[in-house]
Structure 1
Amino acid sequence: MTAATLSVFEADLPTLTYDLTATPQQIYPEFRSAQQQAPVALGPIGPEVLSYELARAVLRDPRFGIPPGIHLSAHGITSGPLWDRVTRSILNMEGDEHRRLRGLVSRAFTPRGTARMDPTIHTVVNELVDRIEGQGSCEFVEAIARPYPIPVICALLGAPREDWQRFSRWAEDIFKIVSFDCDLAAEEPVILRAWGEFDAYIDEMIAHRRENLTDDLLSELIRAEDDGDRLDAAELRMLAFSVLIAGTDTTRSQLAASMQVLCDHPEQWALLRERPELAMPAVEETMRHSPSMCSTVRSALDDVTIGGHTFPAGTFILVNTFAANRDPAIYDDPARFDITRDEPPPILTFGGGAHYCLGANLARRELAEALTILARRVPDPRVVGPVPWRPLLGMSGPVSLPIEFG
């Protein structure tokens, strides 16, 4: 190869040596040092894109795809019923089939489409705060963050609120497919059983909705049409699963992470309380500064040269959005937490390109409403114990967050 097309494995790039169990906060100094040397570094699982511009370019480039079933492969599962189910979901699709499904589904996730969830979101958050308001303390993850998203997802799909505990149990079991800290082969029967129960429940809902359409997401998906093309029952079932898996732990973890960083900056919490219109900027800033989803994986579908770096075909690439969202070339004083940043560039936490998160509008609304109500009803929160985080790879965020408040 010439110097211009030298593989990232042959180029003189910085090396990252962090432990796979390390948290984002533990690794950040190493990211920051490597970022000052090059936009790409060689990490424990392969090349890591660290700069904002290159990360955005890779996420938007169709020459980089999502490796199918990568979390399963890490556990040695490369075939079988669980593999088939996971790799056939919209979260793993590429090409024409992916574009078709996104085109049919996207209208249900516009800002106007998700605005109908505001009354439910408002009710759920207030009911959770009611339980802790007079106590003066709580374990925030268990009391607020963990139970928050499931009733919202039930309402989104059109399921009765009293079924939220069933949905929560299914989500807990199914979400093991993206966990790095369990024996996935041993858990496969549990996952498949929960997934089967969820599918059967959704099938009953689909049959009922076809006769009695309402204003919920499932009805919107049934109505969705493009030149006569409609979603069949299997696609509706798969999309309902995708909503459950993509909208549960992500929201839980990010709400806890956002709460922690606001507790660590009491002047920002006071500002949010005084100016609730800052709730949405606070969501953007907490997801930039302290994201629970810190990275996403891509694979080079061919030899790809981008930004002066060549990634050989088949290379697994970690797009390190945590580092990219703190790129000093893009964000002034990137380690500073400031919910009043003046028109900052868009965060990369929701991904980009063809796989930009369909539920981003809903997630922002859920987080903004939660922070607005918490700032109003939970005065002067402060962290009063250790806050262990899950590792950077996979879903990160606080495992527990003990707080006291006025």
Structure 2
Amino acid sequence: MSAAPPSVFDAGLPTLDYDITDTPQQIRPQFCAAQQVAPIALGPIGPEVLSYPLARTVLGDPRFGIPPGIHLAAHGITSGELWDRVTRSILCMEGDEHRRLRSLVSRAFTPRATAKMDQTISEVITDLIDAVSDSGACEFVDQVARPYPIPVICALFGAPREDWELFSTWAQDIFKIVSFDIDLAAEEPTVLRAWDEFDAYIDDMIARRRTHLTTDLLSELIRAEDGGDRLDAGEVRMLAFSILIAGTDTTRTQLAASMQVLCDHHDQFALLRDRPELAMRAVEETMRHSPSMCSTVRTATEDVAIGEYTIPAGTFLVVNTFAANRDPVIYDEPDRFDITRDDPPPILTFGGGAHYCLGANLARRELSEALKILACRMPDARVSGPAPWRPLLGMSGPTRLPLEFGR
């Protein structure tokens, strides 16, 4: 029997010496240097997978699970009501129950199903642009990107327009569970109150849908059936919460990141204006080159021999999709931004394997429609001031994006 490969901690791997508050752009040179040496490097919170092939392998290997409640644990919260709620959501599930729920829910997020949202998506982004177009300038994050996803999520659920502000308030409070720059223990009552109000609203919608099904997502979840298996009301409620969490901040931060990189490459923005059929490619390329979600964390559930290394059981492993999406072995001139890349390998920004993002089709439609309309309405947009980014770990993307454009 051949000996197991050496542990990643004993293999002389390159070291990444960055602060957890550093942005992707600040750390990029270290990733480039480390990729020339090995597919894995040792980062500040554990080994980081940097190569595209190895990242794709890890994301698809069930021996690497999502550590439950990792954002809460970072705040010292490892038990209690908030912990129980978060760790019981589909976002933290593994195994048979996770597969069961995904099989029931996935049909509601097929390309055909999400295409029904096109008109709503177009109307929402158009209204947001109309509100700033006469001024010739805007703070894009606050005025366009941040308010964009909530009306789409509300329309997906079948919530009326007059309740959009309610959803926005609930989302703002609930999103504190994935923030690193607050005292979450102090904010826990606020989070739970917002979550309770959201759950009560969804419960009321479920009760009404059971007597009068429509074409919205909640109705589709109620209809969902697989071999006689159906979702109960608690599962529908939990999935509604998971969709709110997974489909809001990711889309708004990626829209801002995508807009920034297009403004920094005027030739590509002009190309998108002239060839709107490239909008979906523009989404893939902006998410490859400038993703708002740069990494995801996995835990080895057992000793795993992968490639030339062994990942010991219990190891926190950072799958650095930001680095993997610019792997020079896979992507020709990986730092070149080009929305006409011909049949590039699939990006890893939406994850992979059992935890591949359920809402990826919807997110792509939201982003492609927004970028297509922005290229038409703001073709000369330019960044007019500092556009700082959040750190690489967690949700990244610009916190501000001041733009100027022709009226």
- TM-score when scaled to structure 1? 0.99
Q: Which runs of 5+ in 2 are unaligned?
A: none
2:127 is aligned to: 127
Cα distance, 1:68 vs structure 2:
0.6
Q: Which residue in 1 is equivalent to 2:280? A: 280
Give, as a single letter, the amino acid of the residue that structure 2 aligns with 1:138.
C
2:56 counterpart SS class: helix
For 1:137, the equivalent position in structure 2 comes to 137
Match of 1:95 in 2: 95
Whole-Å Cα distance in 1 between the matches of residues 214 and 105 of structure 2? 16
Alignment length, in residue pairs? 406
> What is the match of residue 341 of structure 2?
341
- The one-letter amino acid paired with 2:312 is P
Cα deviation for residue 379 of structure 1 reads 2.4
Matches within 5 A, 1:59-78: 59-78=59-78
> What residue number does 2:298 align with?
298
Deviations 1:185-227 (A, max 9, x none): 1111111010000000000000000001000000000000111
Q: How does 1:136-215 map to 2 (within 5 A)?
A: 136-215=136-215
Determine the C-alpha separation between the residues in 2 that align with 1:88 and 1:216: 25
Per the TM alignment, residue 4 of structure 1 is displaced from its structure 2 partner at its CA by 4.6
Residue 76 of structure 1 aligns with an amino acid whose one-letter code is G
Counterpart Cα distance in 2 of 1:184 and 1:35: 36
Percent identity reads 79
Letter in 1 for 2:285: E
The aligned residue for residue 9 of structure 2 is: 9
**SS, match of residue 117 in structure 1:** helix
Counterpart in 1 of 2:246? 246
Name the structure 2 match of 1:58.
58
1:134 CA drift (Å)? 1.4
What is the one-letter code of the residue matched to 2:102?
Answer: R
Correspondence 1:85 to 2:122: no
The residue type paired with residue 61 of structure 1 is: D
Question: Which whole-Å CA distance do the structure 2 matches of 1:2 and 1:81 have between them?
Answer: 47
Once the two structures are overlaid, the 10-residue window that deviates more, 222-231 or 49-58, is 222-231
> Alignment partner of 1:361: what SS?
helix
Once the two structures are superposed, what CA deviation does each residue of 1:44-80 show, in whole Å capped at 9, x if it has no partner? Answer: 0000000000000000001100001111111111100
Instruction: Give the Cα separation in 1 of the matches to 2:334 and 2:162.
Output: 43
Q: Secondary structure at the match of 1:395?
A: coil
| Amino acid in structure 2 at the alignment position of 1:401 | L
Note the alpha carbon deviations across 1:222-260, whole angstroms, 9 max, x for none. Answer: 000111111011100000000100011100000000000
- The alpha carbon displacement at 1:135 in A equals 1.1
Deviations 1:119-163 (A, max 9, x none): 100110111111111111110011110110000000001111221
Question: 1:179: Cα distance to partner?
Answer: 1.1
Aligned to 1:389, the other structure's residue is in SS state coil
In structure 2, how many angstroms separate the alpha carbons of the residues matched to 1:65 and 1:290?
26
CA offsets per residue over residues 366-399 of structure 1, 9 Å max, x none? Answer: 0000001111111200001000111011100000
Q: How far apart, CA to CA, are the structure 2 residues paired with 1:52 and 1:3?
A: 26
Q: Distance in 2 between matches of 1:2 and 1:400?
A: 54
Alpha carbons of structure 1 residues 265 and 3: separation in structure 2 relative to 1, 3 Å: farther
Q: Which amino acid aligns with 2:193?
A: R
Shift of 1:181: 1.0
SS in 2 for 1:318: strand
1:229 lines up with 2:229 in the alignment: yes
- The answer to whether the Cα contact below 8 Å between 1:109 and 1:362 also exists between their aligned partners in 2 is yes
What is the deviation of 1:16? 0.6
Matched residue, 2:331: 331
Q: Which runs of 4+ in 1 moved over 3 A?
A: 1-4
Deviation at 1:314, TM superposition (A): 0.5
Q: 1:296 to 1:361 in 2, by over 3 A?
A: same
Unaligned runs of 5+ in 1: none
- Alpha-carbon distance in 2 for matches of 1:138, 1:233: 42
CA distance in 2, matches of 1:319, 1:3: 26
Residue of structure 1 equivalent to 2:27:
27
Conserved? CA contact 1:23–1:391, under 8 Å: yes
SS at match of 1:248: helix
TM-score, L = length of structure 2: 0.99
Cα distance in 2 for residues equivalent to 1:180 and 1:334: 30
Aligned counterpart, 1:45: 45
Deviates more, 1:179-188 or 1:2-11: 2-11
